[in-house]
């Protein structure tokens, strides 16, 4: 566990030095721009939508960026021959990703509180963001492991967005308005994510919240185990084999 905190602080230090924090802040400012340009005073409905787009995409991207940086400059080689366990390695990256999502949430929420009208359960939203970011950081690991380079990761991420993220988004803004499609979307983790994010506005049935929580908690556990297994193969591949 001691090593976990050392790696975690190392990750945080590198996030700052590699300007990942800056990039994340710029994205948050872009979202503020979107909120600013929204003429609707009460942004309770669109706020979870922005958080949904930010958390799901940024979590995948951030994990990929940090791993490909390590790969590119060779530091991954030396990380693999330290006493760091693969569990600590994965968890530290996931934790930093979750933290980044939480910071974005806080920035956006403060803006919304000061300059707009918003009425949602912040604690509930915070919990949802943590879970959704954790789940998608683990998705990020798996997509990164199966991508040869950063471009391949971006392509894989686009596929994930088009197949799983976009349909759920379109459903919530009522562009997709068909019961069968809505039912099919329950198999997507992004639907579970959206339900939990919207639960903070009071717009979710209890069974839906239980479904969303169960999906993402169990899903995260399964993805974590998969990511650990795939890490072995990735480590062998990146050791120059």
In terms of C-beta density within 10 A (0-12 exposed, 13-18 middle, 19 or more buried), how is residue 166 classed? middle
Place of tokens 């683990």: 138
- Please identify which residue in 49, 53, 209, 235 interacts with another protein, judged by CB under 8 A: 235
Which of 37, 78, 148, 180 contacts another protein by CB under 8 A? 78
- Decide: is 22 part of the binding site for another protein (CB under 8 A): no
How far apart are CB 77 and another protein at their closest, in Å?
Answer: 5
Residues 6+ apart with CB under 8 A from 6: none
Q: How far is the CB of 35 from another protein (least distance, A)?
A: 32
Contact in structure between 86 and 52 (CB atoms under 8 Å)? no
- Whole-number minimum distance, CB 81 to another protein, in Å? 4
Q: Which stretch binds another protein (CB under 8 A): 28-36, 116-124, 164-172, 228-236?
A: 228-236
Helix %, strand %, coil % of the chain (to 5): 80, 0, 15
Q: Which residues 6+ apart lie within 8 Å of 209 measured at CB?
A: 195, 196, 199
Tell me whether residue 37 or residue 241 sits nearer to another protein (CB atom): 241
CB of 91 to another protein, least distance (A): 15
**Per rule CB under 8 A, is residue 103 in the interface with another protein?**
no
Using CA atoms, how far residue 169 sits from 51, 114, 147, 164, in Å, is 11, 26, 26, 9
Q: Rule CB under 8 A: is residue 1 a binding residue for another protein? A: no
121-180: which residues touch another protein (CB under 8 A)?
none
Question: Can you tell me whether residue 50 is helix, strand or coil?
Answer: helix
Minimum CB distance to another protein smaller for 70 or for 171: 70
Query: Is the distance from CB of 20 to CB of 62 less than 8 angstroms?
Result: yes
d(CA 27, CA 42): 22
Q: How far is the CB of 228 from another protein (least distance, A)?
A: 13
Q: Which one among 14, 71, 116, 230 touches another protein, defined by CB under 8 A? A: 14
Site for another protein, rule CB under 8 A:
3, 6, 10, 13-14, 17-18, 70, 73-75, 77-78, 80-85, 232, 235-236, 239-241
């Amino acid at each position: 566990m001691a090593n976990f905190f050392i790696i975690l602080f190392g990750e945080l230090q590198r996030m700052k030095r590699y300007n990942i924090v800056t990039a994340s802040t710029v994205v948050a400012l872009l979202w503020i721009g979107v909120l600013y340009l929204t003429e609707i005073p009460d942004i309770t409905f669109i706020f979870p939508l922005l958080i949904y787009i930010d958390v799901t995409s940024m979590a995948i991207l951030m994990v990929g960026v940090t791993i490909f940086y390590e790969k590119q400059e060779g530091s991954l080689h030396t990380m693999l021959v330290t006493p760091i366990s693969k569990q600590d390695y994965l968890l530290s990256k996931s934790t930093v990703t979750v933290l980044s999502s939480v910071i974005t949430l806080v920035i956006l929420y403060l803006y919304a509180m000061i300059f707009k009208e918003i009425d949602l359960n912040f604690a509930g939203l915070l919990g949802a963001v943590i879970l959704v970011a954790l789940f998608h950081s683990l998705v990020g690991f798996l997509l990164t492991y199966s991508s040869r380079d950063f471009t391949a990761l971006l392509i894989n991420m686009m596929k994930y967005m088009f197949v799983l993220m976009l349909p759920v988004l379109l459903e919530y803004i009522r562009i997709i308005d068909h019961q069968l499609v809505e039912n099919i979307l329950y198999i997507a983790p992004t639907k579970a994510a959206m339900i939990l994010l919207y639960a903070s506005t009071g717009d979710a049935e209890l069974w839906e919240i239980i479904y969303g929580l169960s999906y993402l908690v169990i899903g995260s556990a399964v993805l974590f185990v998969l990511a650990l297994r795939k890490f072995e193969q990735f480590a062998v591949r990146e050791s120059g084999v």
